[in-house]
Amino acid sequence: MDVLSDVIAVMRTGQPRSARVEWHAPWAQRFASVPGCAGFQVILRGPCWLVPSDIDPVPLGAGDVVFLPRGRGHTLADSPTTPAAGPACDPNDPQLLRPYATATVGEPVGTYGDSTVTLCGAYELDPARAHPLLNDLPELIHLPAHLGRHPELRATLDLLATELERPRLGTDAIVPALIDMLLLYILRTWFDEQPALGTTTGWAAALNDPAITAALRAMHHDPAQPWTVATLAAEAGLSRAPFARRFTTLVGQPPLSYLTWWRMTTASRLLQESNAPLSAVARRIGYTSEFAFANAFKRQYGTAPGRYRRAA
């Protein structure tokens, strides 16, 4: 797997929760802050406003996407002056446990064009496996609907809108798959835009650096390899010292520190999702000694691998 796909596969847990809502003015809905979830808002039809707590309101239109990597609370409204009434919407609400739910808020007034339709939802993330890539993302990502830009994202949104507007055979399977795709396309779009904005450090720069990406891909593809800084530098096509400096500058930690973190993160997923013996898990991530693996795992997670598995 490529690095971004691998990161998402490790962090994601459960199904995405979402709801398609048709709003009729006047309306304003608060969405609760939910740590451990990445939230999103997709404007399928009509205008509205995003009202964060600490920045100016943001006008949104059909095709716009808002992504909140760390589940930041916010408000959507027909106008920035409409007061939000009632409790905040919580993505953990049982009404959102289906692949998607539907709702209508307010009384229809006037024509079809007076309403706003949104798809709101959240991806559940495992905080124990939160990748540092997530910490590099801003609190709020707004991707406006620009004609001709990011065709894959636009195509996914068009497919989602069609399935939700006119459900047919297979819709219950198609919608969750499209929402999964939406997460990857949102992140790909944001990362693709960063070089044009002059981003020179952090994960955005790392994933756009062919040398560092080659080393990351090697570690992710085969964490059991006895990697050294020299062998990773060879994968990157650089000499040892320049590679180590560039990797540390962009990723935020030295190559072997990241390798250890990735091995332990992979081990935690294997412990949760498989019944493989601890010795087999150790070998999968490059430890020939179960004792050495257990010590390294405890340093990162504060508990022994067996106890971690039982608790999970």
Classify residue 15 by burial, with Cβ atoms within 10 Å: 0-12, 13-18, 19+. middle
Residue 297 has pLDDT above 80, yes or no: yes
Is the residue at 301 inside a domain? yes
Tokens of 46: 């009509």
Domain C-terminal end among 170, 197, 224:
197
> How far apart (Å, rounded) are the C-alpha atoms in residues 29 and 11?
28
Find the mean pLDDT for residues 74-96: 78
Contact in structure between 18 and 39 (CB atoms under 8 Å): no
Percentage of the residues of the chain whose pLDDT score is greater than 70:
90
Find the mean pLDDT for residues 162-182: 89
233 and 178 fall within a common domain: no
Report DSSP state, residue 84.
P
Residue 185 has pLDDT above 90, yes or no: yes
Is the residue at 97 inside a domain? yes
| Predicted local distance difference test score (pLDDT) of residue 99 | 47
More confident residue, 78 or 192: 78
Is the residue at 204 inside a domain? no
Q: Is 199 helix (H, G, I), strand (E, B) or coil?
A: coil
Strand locations in 56-211 (E): 58-60, 65-68, 74-77, 101-105, 115-124, 141-143
| Predicted local distance difference test score (pLDDT) of residue 124 | 87
Query: In degrees rounded to 5, what are phi and psi of residue 161?
Result: -60, -40
| Predicted local distance difference test score (pLDDT) of residue 10 | 83
Helix or strand holding residue 27 (H, E): none
> How far apart (Å, rounded) are the C-alpha atoms in residues 179 and 185?
10
Name residue 246's amino acid.
R
pLDDT tens per residue across span 89-113: 776 665 544 445 555 555 544 444 5
| Predicted local distance difference test score (pLDDT) of residue 98 | 47
Count of domains for the chain: 2
> How far apart (Å, rounded) are the C-alpha atoms in residues 195 and 191?
8
Closest CA to 164 of 182, 147, 148: 182
pLDDT band for position 7 (50/70/90)? confident
Find the mean pLDDT for residues 274-280: 94
Residue 312 has pLDDT above 80, yes or no: no
Long-range contacts from 201-210, C-beta under 8 angstroms, 24+ separation? 201/249, 201/250, 202/136, 202/250, 202/252, 203/132, 203/133, 203/136, 203/250, 203/251, 204/136, 205/250, 206/247, 206/250, 206/251, 207/3, 207/4, 209/246, 209/250
Tokens of 213: 């990406």
Domain C-terminal end among 147, 164, 197:
197
19 and 167 fall within a common domain: yes
Tell me, what CATH number does 226's domain have? 1.10.10.60
Is the residue at 203 inside a domain? no
282 and 234 fall within a common domain: yes
185 and 221 fall within a common domain: no
Q: Which of 44-58, 129-143, 150-164, 196-210 has the lowest mean pLDDT?
A: 196-210
| Predicted local distance difference test score (pLDDT) of residue 143 | 93
pLDDT tens per residue across span 112-160: 457 899 998 888 888 878 888 888 899 999 999 876 678 899 899 889 8
More confident residue, 96 or 56: 56
The per-residue pLDDT of the chain, averaged, comes to: 87
| Predicted local distance difference test score (pLDDT) of residue 11 | 85
Tell me, what CATH number does 36's domain have? 2.60.120.280
pTM value? 0.84
135 and 216 fall within a common domain: no
Contact in structure between 124 and 150 (CB atoms under 8 Å): no
pLDDT tens per residue across span 220-241: 999 999 999 999 999 999 999 9
Q: Domain residues for 247? A: 209-311
163 and 218 fall within a common domain: no
- The distance of Cα 75 from the centroid of its chain, to the nearest Å, equals 20
Tally of CB atoms within 10 A around 168: 8
